[in-house]
């Protein structure tokens, strides 16, 4: 197991980003995916959620009309991690050990955590997928980069099999499971991606997030989708797509 020493600064900023992304932000304030605390009300639930209603560069989006952008290669420099799972009532999140990162055209971002949504949040040409994983990274300045991986129904995913087995079914609980995991097991063969700027997809919907959605989906079985959804009483855990407001999507 290779472990890379990272700066305390990165770890510190990483922790705050970790708290923000993937449903961690605003845990003290109640929000949800339906009804009076649903996505269309997030912006008025609390002053700190204002961007959810007023932001002009919000995520997720419908990826369409992408233009050729001469995008830098997305290089995954991922190592293994201890297995630590959180059910925060909004998503299932795996906190990732330090020492894994991506490199995009010389910009390096450390992997903090990954989590899931069902249905997918981003759409591709108007199509939602049954699930989407978000791999949340931060650079030394605390700026976030999220890699989105789409899941289509097909063969079971071995990593999800292990994750769901150890996931606590009760909301707001954490489980440290035996063994280690490799997040690379969630990636498709091709690193080709769509790029755009956006936000966190959960309150406080903070903007300035660098989004990269992989073009090639991976598979998940029907049973695995159903099992994820059962953690949330079969409710959707995806924010609806947001207006592009003049943003360009690159491919
Ligand atoms: Zn997410």
What's the CA-to-centroid distance between 240 and ligand 1, angstroms? 12
Question: Could you give phi then psi for residue 38, rounded to 5 degrees?
Answer: -75, 175
Decide if pLDDT at 38 tops 50: yes
Q: Are strands 218-220 and 207-214 parallel, antiparallel or unpaired?
A: unpaired
Decide if pLDDT at 16 tops 90: no
Residue 47, number of CB atoms within 10 A of its CB: 8
What's the CA-to-centroid distance between 5 and ligand 1, angstroms? 27
Predicted local distance difference test score (pLDDT) of residue 29? 78
Predicted local distance difference test score (pLDDT) of residue 28? 64
- 109-165 confidence digits (pLDDT tens): 999 999 999 999 999 999 999 999 999 999 999 999 999 999 999 999 999 999 999
Q: How far apart are CA 142 and CA 138, in angstroms?
A: 5
What's the CA-to-centroid distance between 204 and ligand 1, angstroms? 13
What's the CA-to-centroid distance between 222 and ligand 1, angstroms? 21
Predicted local distance difference test score (pLDDT) of residue 25? 45
222-230 and 158-166 helices, crossing angle to 10°: 20
Q: What is the pTM of this model?
A: 0.90
Query: Residue 150 is encoded by which pair of tokens?
Result: 């789409």
Residue in 208, 149, 201 with CA at minimum distance from that of residue 22:
201
Q: What angle do CA 72, 108, 219 make, to 5 degrees?
A: 70
Decide if pLDDT at 236 tops 50: yes
* Residue-range domains of the chain with CATH: 8-230 (3.10.200.10)
Higher pLDDT, 14 or 113: 113
What's the CA-to-centroid distance between 208 and ligand 1, angstroms? 15
Task: Give the three-class secondary structure for 70.
Answer: coil
Decide: 95 and 167 in contact? Cβ < 8 Å: no
Options 41, 90, 115, 134, the catalytic residue: 90
| Residue 235 annotated to the active site | no
Alpha helices in the chain (DSSP H): 8-20, 42-45, 50-54, 158-166, 222-230
């Amino acid at each position: 197991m290779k472990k890379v020493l990272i700066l305390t600064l990165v770890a510190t900023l990483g922790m705050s980003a970790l708290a923000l992304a993937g449903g961690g932000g605003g845990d003290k304030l109640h929000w949800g995916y339906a009804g009076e605390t649903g996505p269309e009300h997030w912006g008025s639930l609390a002053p700190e959620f204002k961007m959810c209603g007023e932001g002009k560069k919000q995520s997720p989006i419908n990826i369409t009309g992408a233009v050729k952008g001469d995008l830098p290669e997305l290089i995954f420099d991922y190592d293994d991690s201890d297995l630590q799972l959180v059910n925060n009532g909004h998503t299932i999140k795996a906190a990732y050990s330090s020492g894994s990162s991506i490199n995009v055209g010389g910009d390096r971002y450390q992997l903090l955590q990954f989590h899931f949504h069902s249905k997918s949040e981003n759409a591709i040409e108007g199509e939602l997928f049954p699930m989407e994983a978000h791999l949340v990274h931060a650079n030394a300045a605390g700026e976030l980069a999220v890699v989105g991986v789409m899941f289509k129904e097909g063969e079971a995913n071995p990593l999800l099999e292990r994750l769901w087995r150890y996931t606590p079914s009760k909301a707001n609980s954490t489980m440290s499971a035996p063994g280690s995991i490799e997040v690379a097991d969630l990636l498709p063969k091709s690193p080709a991606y769509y790029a755009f700027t956006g936000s966190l997809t959960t309150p406080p919907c903070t903007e300035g997030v660098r989004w990269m959605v992989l073009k090639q989906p991976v598979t998940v079985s029907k049973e695995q989708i159903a099992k994820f959804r059962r953690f949330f009483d079969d409710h959707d855990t995806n924010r609806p797509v947001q207006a592009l407001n003049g943003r360009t999507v690159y491919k």
